[in-house]
C-alpha cells in the first residue's frame, strides 16, 4: 500500500469535506442541517480561513483519511514564557481503509509535528470507538483534564 501522510493543500479540501460528511451523516446517520453540496462548499471556505491545520492520509493518490490540529497559546509561566497546546480534531479514516494502520500513522504524524513545534501536550476528545486507537499511539486518560 502506497500511503503518504502530508499537510493538506487547497485541492485536498473538497475530498476532506466529503470525508467529514461521510463520517457524520453516512456513518453515524446524523441528520444534516444542510445539503451535502452546501456543506462541502461551506467547509472548504471555513478550512481556507481557519487556524486549524489539516493533514491527510493519501493512499494510491486518493485522500482516505484526515486529521485536524489547532495550536492554542497558553498562559506564560515562570518555567516557560511561551507555551502551546495542540488540540487534535476531526480524525477520520475511510471505513474501506481501516485496520491497515492508516489512523495510527496519521495520528502519530500529527503528534510528532505538534511536538516538534513546541506543543507541551496534544489533547483529543475521542469517540468511544476510537479510544483504543489513541491509547495504542500513546494517549492516556487524565483525571485532571476536565470539560463541560
CATH number at residue 98: 3.40.630.30
Q: Evaluate whether 99 touches 108 at the Cβ level (below 8 Å).
A: no
Within a domain: 146: no
CA distance 39 to 18: 9
Within a domain: 8: yes
Within a domain: 142: no
Within a domain: 147: no
Within a domain: 87: yes
pLDDT on residue 100:
96
pLDDT on residue 99:
94
pLDDT on residue 30:
95
Within a domain: 98: yes
H/E segment holding residue 137: none
Within a domain: 144: no
Domain that holds residue 11: 3-136
Closest to 13 measured CA to CA, from 57, 49, 43:
43
pLDDT on residue 146:
83
pLDDT on residue 74:
96
pLDDT on residue 79:
95
pLDDT on residue 148:
87
* Number of domains comprising the chain: 1
* pLDDT by residue, tens only, the chain of 148 residues: 899 999 999 999 999 999 999 999 998 999 999 999 999 999 999 999 999 999 999 999 999 999 999 999 999 999 999 999 999 999 999 999 999 999 999 999 999 999 999 999 999 999 998 999 999 999 999 899 888 8
CA distance 18 to 21: 5
Q: Evaluate whether 55 touches 66 at the Cβ level (below 8 Å).
A: yes
pLDDT on residue 65:
98
b/e string for 31-54 if b means 16 or more Cβ within 10 A? eeeeeeeebbeebeeebeeeeebb
Residues 6 or more apart whose CB falls under 8 angstroms from that of 89 comprise 52, 67, 68, 69, 70, 124, 125
Q: Evaluate whether 69 touches 53 at the Cβ level (below 8 Å).
A: yes
Within a domain: 141: no
Where does the chain show beta strands of DSSP type E? 3-7, 53-59, 62-73, 84-93, 119-124
CA distance 100 to 145: 31
Amino acid at each position: 500500500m502506497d500511503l503518504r501522510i502530508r499537510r493538506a493543500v487547497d485541492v485536498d479540501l473538497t475530498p476532506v469535506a466529503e470525508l467529514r460528511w461521510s463520517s457524520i451523516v453516512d456513518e453515524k446517520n446524523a441528520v444534516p442541517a444542510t445539503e451535502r453540496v452546501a456543506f462541502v462548499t461551506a467547509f472548504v471556505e471555513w478550512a481556507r480561513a481557519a487556524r486549524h491545520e489539516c493533514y491527510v492520509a493519501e493512499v494510491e493518490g486518493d485522500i482516505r483519511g484526515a486529521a485536524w490540529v489547532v495550536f492554542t497559546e497558553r498562559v506564560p509561566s515562570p518555567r516557560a514564557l511561551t507555551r502551546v497546546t495542540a488540540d487534535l480534531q476531526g480524525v477520520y479514516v475511510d471505513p474501506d481503509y481501516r485496520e491497515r494502520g492508516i489512523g495510527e500513522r496519521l495520528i502519530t504524524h500529527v503528534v510528532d509535528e505538534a511536538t516538534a513545534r513546541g506543543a507541551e501536550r496534544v489533547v483529543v476528545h475521542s469517540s468511544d470507538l476510537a479510544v483504543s486507537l489513541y491509547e495504542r499511539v500513546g494517549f492516556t486518560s487524565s483525571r485532571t483534564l476536565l470539560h463541560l
